[in-house]
Structure 1
Amino acid sequence: MGFHSEISKRKQRRHVICMASDFFFPNTGGVEEHIYNLSQCLIKRGHKVVVITHSYGDRVGIRYLTAGLKVYYLPITVFYSQCVLPTMICNVFLLRYILIRESIEIVHGHSAFSVLGHEVSIIGKLLGLKTVFTDHSLFGFADTSAVLTNKYLQMCLTECDHCICVSHTGKENTVLRAKVKAHKVSVIPNAVDTYTFTPDPTKRNPDVITIVIVSRLVYRKGVDLMAAVITEMCPRYPNLRFIVGGDGPKMWLLQELRERKGYQHCVSLLGSLKHSEVRNVLVKGDIFLNTSLTEAYCMAIVEAASCGLKVVSTKVGGIPEVLPDSMIYLTEPTVESLVKGVENAMRDITQGNILCPYECNKMIRKMYHWMDVTKRTEIIYDSIHLNKNKPLGMQLKNYLSCGVWPFLLVISLMYLLLQLAERLYKRKNIDIAKDLKLN
């Protein structure tokens, strides 16, 4: 009897969640889409969700998105690559006010690159809230930037209640580089809206074979490999066409390739795409090419498979876990291997040895669904709900295990600022101000 009552309580429990990250709409990407879709499904499940991010251009203040999703675009200046400056203390008062005003219970940070996500999580933990972190990326261990990022991530995740990774490879990577205990890390993959990414074979050009690439044009996405594959294949196959969607610092490489080598007829550069435009580009293709050098979980290949394209991808990171062999050709991150993978896919298309696009869509729908991701995330929220809050002394002792002693001074200063804010801006005054606004 007690077991069934506990299950019923779990089903009825309502959480108040704050999604925190530097990456959110109107910026586009896998992290942004993950936060938005997860938030929408949590709202449908009866939870309250608030998003905290920094300003994007003139988008500052509070905005309401679909289903009443409340987004705080904070007036914080971007420092580098869409991330704010890691001061840790400059935004304490503002973030505390929001967390109390919205009666937040759980802070859910996203992306190891997001300074704001880590900052909100640490402040939330000092306020006695529960914290969850989702890691969307893989990192190395050798270069200087990776060492610094890994140490920063280790410090920020010391007091995190639970971590989520989007692939098993990502879990192993996070456990090793951030020194998080394995039992505190769960694997919940991304998903795709298969009702949005639907096939439309009528949009394909039957006279040519079209290869679609949709990616941010940065080094880790393998733009150099991409350019080399195009250079290798265009002269050999006159009926081959490349459509490249996306923008980034490596765009000049493809522009130079297109102009100097005279590939205007077979290479189309679309530039930056809105997420709502991606499906209309994918359905024009026969093959989707992904040349990433590192990837925890590639949303783009799932969206392409949902649209019925044959996928050719490098087998790096968590990519081998994502799609079955019937949908994808996995290659080494070399030009020769990628060319061979594309040629195999072309042969399958010319011989008609491919799956029906609509069957692909149905298969993806069964494998990846946002509501399934949401239910699995809810289980984590329910499990950490019972965790006891640690006193400041115990938290500082845990932070000491990172080996970065000055970070203890930062945490102590953040705690003192929160105590000062408690005296200057009492919680009851925040609640009164909220009630007055509602009335």
Structure 2
Amino acid sequence: MAPTYNIAMVSDFFFPQPGGIESHIYQLSTKLRDRGHKVIVVTHAYEGRTGVRYLTNGIKVYHVPFLVIYRSASFPTVFSFFPVFRNIMLRERIDIVHGHASLSSLCHEAIFHARTMGLRTVYTDHSLFGFADAASIMANKLLKFSLSDVDHVICVSHTCKENTVLRASLDPLMVSVIPNAVVAENFKPLHSRPEVSANSFGHSPPPVRQLGPHDTITIVVISRLFYNKGTDLLTAAIPRIIQNHPNTRFIIAGSGPKAIDLEQMIEQNVLQDRVEMLGPVRHEEVRDVMVRGHIYLHPSLTEAFGTVIVEAASCGLYVVCTQVGGIPEVLPSHMTVFAKPEEEDLVAATGKAIAALRANKVRTELFHEQVKTMYSWTNVATRTERVYNGISGAISEAEFYGYDAANAASWSATRGRSGVQSFALIDRLKRYYGCGIWAGKLFCICVIVDYLLFVFLELWFPREKIDICPDWPRKTINEQKETVKDARSRW
């Protein structure tokens, strides 16, 4: 029988804030719970949400009241989070702490404290960072500190894996690639038809809709309006696209500091009737916005995966996106038109997509069923569960890392048990000491202080006096099979 775990997902980024990381944590937690695991989420307090909340799927969320400083990231406190974190971990009898996002202070602190408490840890990276600017150098040093003592790392694309391995100086064997996914049922096209699929003779059915030369084509953009999401590029490209293609209009959803630049561009070019700005939209409203369009434009300057373009393709939109980061790995070439992250190339790529749609060369009505077969949260949860089994010893090293028994001796001699780190204080200090001439010594001091704080908490606030929370009823294997059977019958 497969083992089950008590898992804590920790990140600053979670609902009610919309976004890819937030959706990833929610969907992964839901599927892991469906597989019989207990999952809680630890995040900071949002306006109107403080304390403990239960989501409708039975997942408990701890909203810790910490100060938020920038883009929903909490102020790094290092040690003051430990008493609260320890209390939650003991109350919920957590086995594995799973942190998400490079810029989440709660994530890094949770991994640090969890190792001090003797808990297994996993980290998922959702972002790409550079190596030259000061902010990236600081972020990379912080990541190296956190991942020097972690059991395993998950990245959402192969490009993201390469970036993370270089930034944190990791053994590539410690890093697995598990992509994001999409709930295809929540992103159906507006005019979906069950008969729209290739028949048994390999012939495709006729297109659902034909676009005439003078029909209006709507281009949708749903993104946080920040510099790294390519908002400056979008601001420069929109007037030129509209000028080159008179029968086009834009729908832009999202919020951020760059929204004012878009509004000024609309005013200066008198495009109020051609560009509609919706402001922030809830995740459950994203599909309703997408199905109003024909093309999805994604001008991001850096992206590890880009879940939103999978959602757009599932809704039957032709995707125009920049060829950066892990985006080229996400969708097949017949669903996308790639552009360099430059104004000229983005305008040209959008024009190419408009021409292809007007000539009816793209079968967007087939995209939904194709995306449905490519991405599944159940598959993501199964692969994540295998990582948990690997770091907890439920499966052998050879099976987890993929080497054969003949090379086991030489492999262990050169690498050791890469994915399962020792909890011994001296071994932890050795790992942190290698992080740099000055940084290594500073990190070792942090580890020692954290260990002394842990001893103090164990003596003054003993575990026996902490109430254990009753678990939400878990699903059995039979219940899981019945759920899948009911879902298939409804479909």
Q: Does 1:229 align with 2:240?
A: no
Q: Does 1:67 align with 2:67?
A: no
Partner SS for 2:246: coil
Find the aligned partners of 1:32 and 1:238 in 2 and give their Cα distance: 37
> In the TM superposition, what is the alpha-carbon distance from 1:80 to its structure 2 partner?
2.2
The AA in structure 2 aligned to 1:395 is R
> In the TM superposition, what is the alpha-carbon distance from 1:337 to its structure 2 partner?
1.0
Counterparts of 1:32-431 in structure 2 under 5 Å?
Answer: 32-201=22-191, 207-357=215-365, 359-386=366-393, 387=420, 389-403=422-436, 404=439, 405-431=441-467
Find the aligned partners of 2:291 and 2:115 in 1 and give their Cα distance: 45
> In the TM superposition, what is the alpha-carbon distance from 1:354 to its structure 2 partner?
1.2
The AA in structure 2 aligned to 1:311 is V
Find the aligned partners of 2:458 and 2:469 in 1 and give their Cα distance: 17
The AA in structure 2 aligned to 1:84 is S
For the 8 Å contact 1:204–1:283, the answer to whether it is kept is no
Partner SS for 1:67: coil
- Gapped runs of 5+ residues in structure 1? 1-8
Task: State the structure with bigger RCO (CA 8 A, min sep 6), 1 or 2.
Answer: 2
**Aligned CA distance change for structure 1 residues 204 and 137 (closer, same or farther; 3 Å):** farther
**Aligned CA distance change for structure 1 residues 369 and 22 (closer, same or farther; 3 Å):** same
Find the aligned partners of 1:424 and 1:385 in 2 and give their Cα distance: 30
Please give the root-mean-square deviation of Cα atoms over the aligned residues, in Å: 1.6
The AA in structure 2 aligned to 1:401 is G
Find the aligned partners of 2:381 and 2:238 in 1 and give their Cα distance: 39
Find the aligned partners of 2:58 and 2:278 in 1 and give their Cα distance: 33
> In the TM superposition, what is the alpha-carbon distance from 1:204 to its structure 2 partner?
9.7
> In the TM superposition, what is the alpha-carbon distance from 1:396 to its structure 2 partner?
1.1
> In the TM superposition, what is the alpha-carbon distance from 1:362 to its structure 2 partner?
0.8
> In the TM superposition, what is the alpha-carbon distance from 1:235 to its structure 2 partner?
2.1
> In the TM superposition, what is the alpha-carbon distance from 1:79 to its structure 2 partner?
2.3
- Identity over the aligned pairs, expressed in percent? 46
The AA in structure 2 aligned to 1:317 is G
Find the aligned partners of 1:81 and 1:211 in 2 and give their Cα distance: 27
> In the TM superposition, what is the alpha-carbon distance from 1:205 to its structure 2 partner?
11
Find the aligned partners of 2:466 and 2:39 in 1 and give their Cα distance: 19
Find the aligned partners of 1:393 and 1:429 in 2 and give their Cα distance: 30
CA deviation profile, 1:185-205 (whole Å, cap 9, x unmatched): 000000001000000149999
Partner SS for 2:338: strand
The AA in structure 2 aligned to 1:52 is V
Find the aligned partners of 1:90 and 1:205 in 2 and give their Cα distance: 61
For the 8 Å contact 2:219–2:251, the answer to whether it is kept is yes
Partner SS for 1:186: strand
Residue equivalent to 2:10: 20
**Aligned CA distance change for structure 1 residues 147 and 205 (closer, same or farther; 3 Å):** farther
TM-score normalized by structure 2? Answer: 0.84
For the 8 Å contact 2:241–2:350, the answer to whether it is kept is no
For the 8 Å contact 1:204–1:284, the answer to whether it is kept is no
* Paired positions, count: 424
TM-score normalized by structure 1? Answer: 0.94
> In the TM superposition, what is the alpha-carbon distance from 1:400 to its structure 2 partner?
0.7
For the 8 Å contact 1:290–1:312, the answer to whether it is kept is yes
For the 8 Å contact 2:216–2:248, the answer to whether it is kept is yes
The AA in structure 2 aligned to 1:195 is E
Partner SS for 1:108: strand
CA deviation profile, 1:181-226 (whole Å, cap 9, x unmatched): 1000000000001000000149999630100000100000111110
For the 8 Å contact 1:304–1:311, the answer to whether it is kept is yes
The AA in structure 2 aligned to 1:398 is R
Find the aligned partners of 1:58 and 1:240 in 2 and give their Cα distance: 40
